[in-house]
Structure 1
Amino acid sequence: MDPRSEVLLRQADLFSGELLLAGLPADDLLGQLPNARGWSWHAGDHQQLQARFGDRCAFGVEPPSAPFEAAVLFLPKSRELTDYLLEALACKLAGRLLYLVGEKRAGIERAAKQLAPFGQARKLDSARHCQLWQVKVAHSPAPPDLERLAQRFSLPLIGGPLQVVSLPGVFSHGRLDRGTALLLEHLDDLPGGRMLDFGCGAGIVGSCLKRRYPESELILLDVDAFAVESSRLTLAANGLDASVIAGDGIDAAPRDCSAIVSNPPFHQGVHTHYEASESLLQRAASHLSPGGELRLVANAFLRYPPLIEASLGRCDTLQEADGFRIYSARRER
């Protein structure tokens, strides 16, 4: 059981009514709170919860339409995303209770300040290195417009500027990170056909691929609903047509890709995770057609070449700069 869930269950008498659990972990909390429903924006967590609890958990960037008497937000890493989520919940809870639970290392100490616009916040519990806060919503905000909260910026690229739409919580929110910038310099000579942007974020790499290879089928994949929506908005802002899907890791991707291009994630929340990236490297061959290429950028300290070579064979380093490396490997015919 996630320690944040354990803290909630210490106060289980508070959560007997119609409760919405926003950003909940994929544990047994819904099983312990039979009147609760879940809202997740992580495709992997949602898949696990849906398998166990059916339609009691919704997926997406907006709260589910079903009414609720109170809500608990599991504190995400991003402050901007936290602000949006609190407003999205508080606007439906006038005069009712909103809770915030999170780990101390995730910044729950700032909870009172972030809850202050809605009413007088108070700390209910502190255990398992977590805290639980509560506010009665005295000042209900207007429903937030997620698109208006997006950061929009333009990338000066060959062939014209690329308009990027970045939503709160998306990787490298509002800016181009150095790893992706380096990868954009190495998109030449990819085999045409079905291309996959794995871990698409705000859709920068995928949009550039579609521009450079307009005849290719382009698929963008991310585990995060806010990234998926960002990619859709970025594609639309540039008049580009591609498929954007939410899925947990490479197993959610189609087969027979001519190229998989990625700045693969290795962070999730306040904890470091390598599973998604390592699974991509280990199973890329099963998603590439013969002669298909895996091309990615990674921090130089990550020992990715042995994993790539075990799956695909020879791994070439196309460039090393600023602590990053560009790797390329092809599936043998």
Structure 2
Amino acid sequence: MDPRSEVLLRQVELFGGDLLLAGLPADDLLGRLPAAHGWSWHAGEHAALTARFAGRCRFGVAPDERPFAAAVLFLPKSAELARYLLDSLAARLPGGELYLVGEKRGGIESAARQLQAFGRPRKLDSARHCQLWQVTVEQAPALPVLEERAQRYRLQATDGPLEVVSLPGVFSHGRLDRGTALLLERLDGLPPGDLLDFGCGAGVLGALLKRRYPQSRVILLDVDAFALASSRLTLAANGLEAQTIAGDGIRDAPDGLAAIVSNPPFHQGVHTDYRATEDLLREAARHLRPGGELRLVANSFLKYPPLIERHLGPCQVLAEGNGFRVYRAGRER
């Protein structure tokens, strides 16, 4: 059981009614709170919850339309996303109870101050290195419009400017990160066929791939619903069409790809986690057609070349700078 769920269950008498659990972990909390339903924006956690509690959890950037008498937000890593989520929940809870739970090292105490906009928050519990806060929503905000919380910037690419639309919580929100910038310089010469932007974030790579290779089918895959929504907005802002897929890693990608291009994620919540990238390197060959290739950027200190060569083939360094390297490896025919 996740420690945040354990803290909730210490106050289980508060959570017997129609309750929305927003951003809930994939544990047994729904089993312990039979009147509750969930809202998840993490595809992997949602899949695990749906397998155990069919019909009781929604995936996306908004909860479903069913009413709820109270809500618990499991604090996300991004402060901007937390503000959007708290406003979204409080807008639907005038006079109701809004709870916030999170790890101390995740910033729960500073996040709890945001509850002051809705009423008088109070700390209910502190245990398992977590805190639980509650507020009665006396001043409900207007329901926020997600697109109005977006940050937009223009990227000057070799084939013209690209409009990027970044939503709260998405990697490198509102700016181009250095790793992606380096990879963008090495997108030429990809083999013809289906192209995958793995861990698409705001859709920078996927949009540029579609513009540079208009005859190719381009697929953008991410575990996060807000990233996929950002990618769709970026594609639309540039008059481009591509497929977006919610998936918990490379196993959810299609087969027969001509290329996988990625600035792969290695952070999950407040913890560092390299599993998604390591799985990508181990399994890329299964999703590439013969002659297909993997092209990715990663921090220079990460020892990825031996893993790439073990599972795919000879690894070439295409570029290096600002603490990053761009790697290329092809699947042998």
Q: TM-score range by the shorter chain?
A: over 0.9
User: Which secondary structure does the structure 2 equivalent of 1:81 belong to?
Assistant: helix
Counterparts of 1:221-300 in structure 2, within 5 Å, are 221-300=221-300
Asked if the contact 2:100–2:112 (Cα under 8 Å) also holds between the matched residues in 1, the reply is no
Q: How many residues align?
A: 333
Residue aligning to 1:28: 28
Residue aligning to 2:130: 130
Normalising by structure 1, we get a TM-score of 0.99
User: Which secondary structure does the structure 2 equivalent of 1:278 belong to?
Assistant: helix
| C-alpha RMSD over aligned residues | 0.6
Residue aligning to 1:303: 303
1:143-184 per-position Cα deviation (integer Å, ceiling 9, x unaligned): 100001100110111222100000000000000000000000
Counterparts of 1:33-182 in structure 2, within 5 Å, are 33-182=33-182
Matched, 1:206 2:188: no
User: Which secondary structure does the structure 2 equivalent of 1:290 belong to?
Assistant: strand
1:16-43 per-position Cα deviation (integer Å, ceiling 9, x unaligned): 0000000000000000111110000000
User: Which secondary structure does the structure 2 equivalent of 1:161 belong to?
Assistant: strand
User: Which secondary structure does the structure 2 equivalent of 1:54 belong to?
Assistant: coil
Deviation of the 1:313 alpha carbon: 1.3
* Structure-2 separation of matches of 1:313 and 1:298: 18
* Structure 1: 4+ residue segments shifted above 3 A: none
User: Which secondary structure does the structure 1 equivalent of 2:160 belong to?
Assistant: coil
Asked if the contact 1:221–1:244 (Cα under 8 Å) also holds between the matched residues in 2, the reply is yes
User: Which secondary structure does the structure 1 equivalent of 2:53 belong to?
Assistant: helix
1:95-117 per-position Cα deviation (integer Å, ceiling 9, x unaligned): 01000000000000113311111
1:92-140 per-position Cα deviation (integer Å, ceiling 9, x unaligned): 1000100000000000011331111111000000000000000000001
* Structure-1 separation of matches of 2:237 and 2:285: 33
Asked if the contact 1:111–1:133 (Cα under 8 Å) also holds between the matched residues in 2, the reply is no
Stretches of structure 2 lacking an aligned partner (at least 5 in a row): none
Deviation of the 1:63 alpha carbon: 1.6
1:69-95 per-position Cα deviation (integer Å, ceiling 9, x unaligned): 100000001111000000110011000
* Structure-1 separation of matches of 2:156 and 2:329: 29
1:298-332 per-position Cα deviation (integer Å, ceiling 9, x unaligned): 00111111111111110111111111000000000
Stretches of structure 1 lacking an aligned partner (at least 5 in a row): none
* Structure-2 separation of matches of 1:23 and 1:244: 21
* Structure-2 separation of matches of 1:221 and 1:112: 33
User: Which secondary structure does the structure 2 equivalent of 1:162 belong to?
Assistant: strand
User: Which secondary structure does the structure 2 equivalent of 1:164 belong to?
Assistant: strand
* Structure-1 separation of matches of 2:36 and 2:115: 22
Normalising by structure 2, we get a TM-score of 0.99
* Structure-2 separation of matches of 1:156 and 1:210: 16
